[in-house]
Chains A and B, each alone.
Chain A
Amino acid sequence: MGDYTKMWESLNIDLEKHDILCEALPVQFTDTYLTQNNRPEAMNYFNFVVAEIHGARILELENHKKNGGKVVGTFCVFVPDEIILATNAISVGLCSGSQFWIEDGEKVLPRNICPLVKAFTGAKVSQTCPYFQSCDMIVGETTCDAKKKAWEIMNDYMPVHVMELPQMKRDKNIEQWKDEIKLFIDKMEELTGNKVTVDNLKNSIELMNRKRRALKHLYDLRKHIPSPISGLDALLVSQVAFSDDPLRFIERTEELCKELEERVKDLKPNGKKRIMVTGTPMALPNWKLHKIVENLDAEIVLEETCTGTRYFENEVSTDGNTVDDLIDNLAIRYMDINCACFTPNEGRVEDILKYADEYNVDGVIYYNLSFCHTYSIEHERVSKVLKEKNIPLLKIETDYSEEDEGQIKTRVEAFLEMI
C-alpha cells in the first residue's frame, strides 16, 4: 500500500490505532488467502483491492467528493444502491467484520449484541475506518433491534438516514416500502442536489442488474463438481462487491468467470464434501468459518447469506415510463429478499432447498453470528425441513474472536465425518 498518511489525517483517522489495524490485516489475509493452492489468476485484482482497501479506494472516494459528489455508507442489502447511484453518489458497504472494533463498540453498546453491530459502531467511535470517515451520510434500516437502536448512537457521530423496513410481506408492506424509497429519494436529492429521473434511475438499475448478473454467473460456475474456485475466494469477491466501483467490479468479476469457464473443462471430481453456508452475513475481513471448513476436506459452494445469494438474486425490472413505475419495480425486487427479519419467512427455506439441489450439496452449515436472534430462532424452521429432506445440517454460532476456532473445527470435522 502507498503512503496515505496525509489523506487519513485529513479524514480525522486515529492514526496510531489505525496503524495497528493496517498491520494486522495483511497477516490475516496472507495466512488465509495466499496459502491456498492454484488460485485463479484473476483473483489478483481482488488481492489488490484488499491490499489497498484503506488506500486506493478511499482516494477515489475523496476525489469524487472533490468533484462535488457525495459518498453514502450502507450496512444492508435492503438499501437500494440504485437510488444512490442515480444521484451520482457512491455507495460503500461499511466496516463491520473485524474483532479489532469490538472493544470500542462495547464502550457504547451492551456486550450481548451481535458482533457486526458492535464492530461497525466501534469502527466509527474509534475513528479507524476511513470509509466511515469519508461518508457524508450513512443509511441504516430496521432489520434488527440492535441496529435500530445503534443508529441513535451513530447519529451522535454523523448524519444517519434510517429506512423503515416492513417486517411482513403483505401488499400493504410493499406499499410502505415504496414510500420509504420515495423518502430516501428525497433525502438523496437534498444531499446531492441531483434529481432522480427516469433516465438516471434506469441507468443505475441496469448497472446494478449487471452487477447481480456477474455475481450470479460466478455462483453458477460454483455448481460445477468440483467448484473451480474456493469458497474463500468467492466470498472475497462478494465482500469486495460492497465497496468497489460497480463498473470495474463487473468487468473484473466477468474476467474471473471467463477464466473459471476454462478451468471447469479440465476439472475432475476431487471427492471433497460440498457445503452450503446459510445464515448471517460475513463482512470483510470475516473469513473465519470458510477458513476452518476449507482447511478440512471440504469446499463451500455457496452462501445463502447477505454476502452471497441474497445480494444478487432477482433483478429489478426496467419496465415503466415514470420514476414511480421504477420505484414500484425496486420495491418489488427488494421485498423479495428472504431475510429472517420477516415473519413468516418461508421463502428462505424454499431457497435453501432449491440451492441444496442445484449446487449438489452434501451438507449445510447454519452460520449464526452470536446474539443474532432472528436467524438463531429461524434455525428451528430450517432444521425441521432439512431433516425431512435428509439434508445434514450443522449450526455454528460464533463471533469474530479466534478463541473458539478449535471447537468449531472439531464440530465441522465431526460433521464431515458424519455426512
Chain B
Amino acid sequence: MIKGMIALNYIGIDIGSTASKVTVFDDERIRFNLLMPTGWNSVETSKKIKSSLIENGIDLEHSKIIATGYGRVAVPYADKTITEITCHAKGAYYLAKEDLTVIDIGGQDTKIITVQNGDVTNFTMNDKCAAGTGRFIELMANTLNLTIEDLSKLALEGENVKINSMCTVFAESEVISLIANGTKREDIARGVLNSIINRIKGMLSKHGLIGTIYLTGGLCELNPFVELLSKELGEEVKTSPMARFAGSIGGALLAKNI
C-alpha cells in the first residue's frame, strides 16, 4: 500500500433468507466475519449490518461493498450486487483452492455449482420448493422438538426410515404419523437427513460431478450431517466452519475488482 493512503476495506454482505453473513477483507486477509439472523425484514437487517460495521470501526466511505443473497437489493450502501451463485463459487474456491462442485444448502434453495479455475461453469438450483433446503431440516427439527444440532447427532444413531414425500408440507404430516406410530426419534431424524441427501443426490447426478465436493451454507458445521452426506454420496465431502461465509467471502473478493 502507498504510504499516507487510508486502507480500503472490501466487504461482502450476503443476506440469505434465514441468515445474513458479512465478511470484511483488507488487502491481504479476512479481518472479521459477522453472522446474524435475517429476520422478516431484509431492509432492517441491512441497516443493522451497517451499524455493526461502523461499531467494528469500518469506515464505509473507504470501503467497496458487494451485496449478494436473496436480500441483495435491500442494501442501498452497496456498490454493486452480484448473485449468490457467483459469490459462493468465489468464496468456496478461496477456501478450498481447487476445482469444486459446490453444494450450497441455503434456507430457501439448494444450489449445485461447478467451479473450474475459480469461475462458475455450470449451476443447478432447486427453487420454488422447500424440499431439500435448510428450511426443511428446520421445520422437521421443530416437529420433533429438537434443535438442528441435536437432530443431526441423533440421526447418526438411527436406522433410516423412508420419508417418501418430496413436499415439505406433506413430509411434515408423514413425520407426525411416524411419531404417532411410535417410530424412534433417532430413526426419524435419520430419515429426515436422508430425504435431503437423496434430493441432493438426484440433483448432483443430473448436474455431474467435477473436482471435489464442497459443502457451503449453514449446515457446514453439522459434522454428523457432513459425515452422512459423504457416506451416502460415496465421495468425500469437504467443508470448513468458514464455509457458512462462502457467499460473503466471495462478495468481498469480488469487491476488489470494482
Contacts and interface: CB of A to CB of B under 8 A. Distances in A.
B83 A413 contact: yes
B125 A411 contact: yes
Interface size class of A (residues with CB under 8 A): 10 to 19
B123 A414 contact: yes
Contacts of B122: 418
B86 A414 contact: yes
Interface in B81-128: 82-86, 109, 119-123, 125, 127-128
Contacts of B121: 418
A410 B127 CA distance: 11
B127 A407 contact: yes
A413 B86 CA distance: 10
Interface string A397-412: 0000001101100110
Contacts of B82: 417
A407 B128 contact: yes
Q: How large is the interface on B (under 10, 10 to 19, 20 to 34, 35 or more residues)?
A: 10 to 19
Interface string B116-144: 00011111010110000000000000000
Contacts of A418: 85-86, 119-123
Interface in A375-419: 403-404, 406-407, 410-411, 413-414, 417-418
Interface of B is mostly: mixed
Nearest to A404: B128
A194 B165 CA distance: 58
A376 to B, nearest CB: 13
Contacts of B128: 403-404, 407
B70 A410 contact: yes
Interface in B4-40: none
Contacts of A414: 83-86, 120, 123
Contacts of A407: 109, 125, 127-128
- Chain A facing B: main interface SS: helix
Interface in A211-261: none
Contacts, number: 35
A371 to B, nearest CB: 13
Interface string B61-73: 0000000001000
B245 to A, nearest CB: 19
Given A404-B127, A410-B84, A411-B125, A417 B70 contact: no
A413 B72 CA distance: 12
A417 B81 CA distance: 11
B177 to A, nearest CB: 24
Contact of A417 (B83, B109, B125, B127): B83
Interface string B172-203: 00000000000000000000000000000000
A145 B120 CA distance: 38
Nearest to B206: A380
B255 to A, nearest CB: 15
Nearest to A416: B83
A313 B125 CA distance: 34
Contacts of B127: 404, 407, 411
A417 B84 contact: no
Nearest to A397: B128
Interface in B204-223: none
Contacts of B123: 414, 418
Interface string B137-158: 0000000000000000000000
A407 to B, nearest CB: 4
Residue of B83, B84, B119, B125 with most chain A CB atoms under a 10 A cut-off = B83
B70 A406 contact: yes
A188 B135 CA distance: 57
Nearest to B109: A407
Contacts of A410: 70, 83-85, 125
A410 B123 CA distance: 12
Interface in A36-87: none
A414 B128 CA distance: 17
Interface string A132-160: 00000000000000000000000000000
Nearest to A399: B128
Contacts of A417: 82-83, 85-86, 120
A120 to B, nearest CB: 24
Nearest to B114: A418
Contacts of B85: 410-411, 414, 417-418
A126 B3 CA distance: 74
A406 B69 CA distance: 11
B46 to A, nearest CB: 16
Interface of B: 70, 82-86, 109, 119-123, 125, 127-128
Given A404-B128, A418-B85, A418-B120, 8 more contacts: A404-B127, A406-B70, A410-B125, A411-B85, A411-B125, A413-B83, A417-B82, A418-B122
Interface of A: 403-404, 406-407, 410-411, 413-414, 417-418
24 contacts: A403-B128, A406-B70, A407-B109, A407-B125, A407-B127, A410-B83, A410-B125, A411-B85, A411-B125, A411-B127, A413-B83, A414-B83, A414-B84, A414-B85, A414-B86, A414-B120, A414-B123, A417-B82, A417-B85, A417-B86, A417-B120, A418-B120, A418-B121, A418-B122
